[in-house]
A = this chain, B = another copy of it.
Amino acid sequence: MTDTEPKWRRRKEARPQEIAEAALAVFAERGFAAAKLEEIAKRAGVSKAALYLYFDTKEALFAEVVRTAVAPGVARVRGMIEASELPFDQFLQLFAGALTANALTGPAGGIAKMVIGESRNFPQLARLWVDEIVGPMLSALTGVVAKAQAKGEVRSGDPRVYAVQIVAPFLVSVLWRETFVPVGEEPFDLQALAAQHLATLRGGLMERAS
């Protein structure tokens, strides 16, 4: 009876991080509306009321999650894209590798699914997601394509559409994984898909080697 453990400890510094991590997991699993603050609190080892010491509302908590958990990885990939001076087909390979290794394996998939599903009911979520994640990525990629067109490496055409063509199969297979694999469908092998997709893009996007 003596030497009992304390019910809780003061951890002002560490709390926000811990809470954000727990929230990330629950948001990705349940979606925004269905995520219970009670459950987030429990996983963070804290009471629900404690969440409100650090975050004003559920939406503020989500914003924090995006900023601390998703944005850094995305910024890294984006920096890699923009710094690249490689020939276009080598760039594509690097990009596909980065996608399969980082962006799509981590939490981004679950969050992306969530944003898609609930954008109508929570437009602020969609805005935040566009501003912080999708918009920057898309315009970086569009820029690379345009540059490659200027160098004569890529056929003429709308570079924004090319960007979508490049990314879409990855995105779809991640949504597939998040949506249909849990009910028993076969997943797609991202490695194999990447290889085949790169081959297609090489034949379909690039000018014939002279």
Complex interface: chain B residues within 8 A of A105 (CB) = none
Inter-chain contacts of A183 with B (CB < 8 A): 119, 123, 126-127, 130
Report B-chain residues with C-beta under 8 Å of the C-beta of A161: 169, 188, 192-193, 196-197
Pick from B29, B168, B178, B193: contact of A169, CB under 8 Å: B168
Copies in the complex: 2
Cβ of A71 under 8 Å from chain B: no
A92 at the interface (CB under 8 A from B): no
Residue of B nearest to A202 (CB): B204
Chain A interface, DSSP helix/strand/loop, else mixed:
helix
Judge whether A42 is part of the interface by a CB distance below 8 angstroms. no
Q: Give the interface segment out of A3-11, A30-38, A51-59.
A: A30-38
Distance (Å) between the CB of A140 and the closest chain B CB? 16
A residues near B (Cβ < 8 Å) are 29-31, 33-34, 113-121, 123, 126-127, 130, 134-135, 155, 157-158, 160-162, 164-165, 167-169, 171-173, 175, 178-180, 182-185, 188, 192-193, 196-197, 199-205
